Structure 1
Amino acid sequence: MTNPATSPAGRALIVSISDDLVHGQDDGGAAALVTELLTEAGFVVDGALAVPSEAVDIRSALNTGVIGGVDLLVTVGGTGVTPRDVTPDVTDEVIDRKLPGITEAVRWSGMTAGVVDAVVSRGVVGVSGSTLIANIAGSRAAIRDGLATLIPLARYVIEELSDPAVE
């Protein structure tokens, strides 16, 4: 197996979940920030989708990434505690295998950095087919901190999933 820190990272899709976004309001640069950080880490970002906080729309966006064969799908937003925050619930329905260690690493990193929305996030990380799906809270601080933790772990998981010797 090659070193995940030096091998190509893969293809990524960003899904922003927010009712405000689909009604034309600005996301505060969240999708652009995720794109920038993933690109700096060597990912090719196929695009960024904005969907409302509706289960059917989130599920469709997740399936678009999985069926499209992206290696990493990062959702931003919809991970909190309000009734409209359904991203983790829908992600649970789509993933085949949860990766709770990565989920907790992202949450712990947020806690040590004092990023409140990262700490109270109900976000999950898991694999659907050969796609790693990760839910990140929507603030810029949560995005920066979450991706700093997620990216090296994602590279490792993607390498594992793409290794033909691993069945």
Structure 2
Amino acid sequence: MVASAVLTVSDRCAAGLAEDRSGPLLAQALAAAGHMVTMRVVPDGERSVAEALQAAIAAGARLIVTTGGTGVAPRDRTPEGTRLVVDRELPGVAESLRADGLAASPHAALGRGIAGVIDSREGQPGVFVVNLPGSPGAVRDGIGAVLALVDHVLAQLDGGDH
């Protein structure tokens, strides 16, 4: 069972002004795939995202999927916060998610989400991190690709062979 964390990044959801619809959708999909899931909502911003990612890693998450903060609004800083934490980016994952999203919406081209890994260190295993957009549709479109990759990525981080 993979320990997974869902991180919703939204000023409005964090302030209780809007309902988080994407985070629960992600959590349901991960739980249905057999993952043990925790959820957290944080405000937009580079620092809040980096701190939430670090907290999820410290709590033992092996997969962290964020939703929100990947667009071009002034406070959309999820990719920047993620870059502060990941050791190596996986640009092919992010490119694939954007390409798949274009089939549903031209707005997918505006997504700036990244994917990457955090290497094993100090007794903590490696972690796979993926940024998804904040819309439920984008989450539905993207989670399948994440689930198709997670076991292989984690096996590689654990020293598995190709």
TM-score normalised per structure 1: 0.86
- Structure 2 counterpart SS, 1:101: helix
Whether 2:7 is the aligned partner of 1:15: answer yes
Whether 2:131 is the aligned partner of 1:135: answer yes
1:155 to 1:25, Cα distance in 2 relative to 1, 3 A: farther
**8 A contact 2:90–2:115 mirrored in 1:** yes
1:120 pairs with 106, 110, 114, which one?
Answer: 110
Whether 2:156 is the aligned partner of 1:160: answer yes
CA distance in 1, matches of 2:108, 2:152: 22
CA distance in 2, matches of 1:139, 1:67: 27
Matches within 5 A, 1:39-118: 39-45=31-37, 47-112=38-103, 114-118=104-108
Shift of 1:117: 4.1
CA distance in 1, matches of 2:6, 2:49: 12
**8 A contact 1:80–1:117 mirrored in 2:** no
Q: CA RMSD in A?
A: 1.5
Alignment correspondent of 1:24: 16
CA distance in 2, matches of 1:142, 1:93: 24
The one-letter code matched in structure 2 to 1:12 is S
**8 A contact 1:115–1:142 mirrored in 2:** no
Shift of 1:160: 1.6
Shift of 1:103: 0.9
CA distance in 1, matches of 2:25, 2:108: 16
CA distance in 1, matches of 2:130, 2:60: 15
The one-letter code matched in structure 1 to 2:21 is G
Aligned residues: 155
**8 A contact 1:18–1:50 mirrored in 2:** yes
**8 A contact 1:109–1:149 mirrored in 2:** no
Runs of 4+ aligned structure 1 residues displaced above 6 Å come to none
1:42 to 1:119, Cα distance in 2 relative to 1, 3 A: farther
TM-score normalised per structure 2: 0.89
Unaligned residue ranges in structure 2 (runs of 5+): 120-125
Unaligned residue ranges in structure 1 (runs of 5+): 1-7
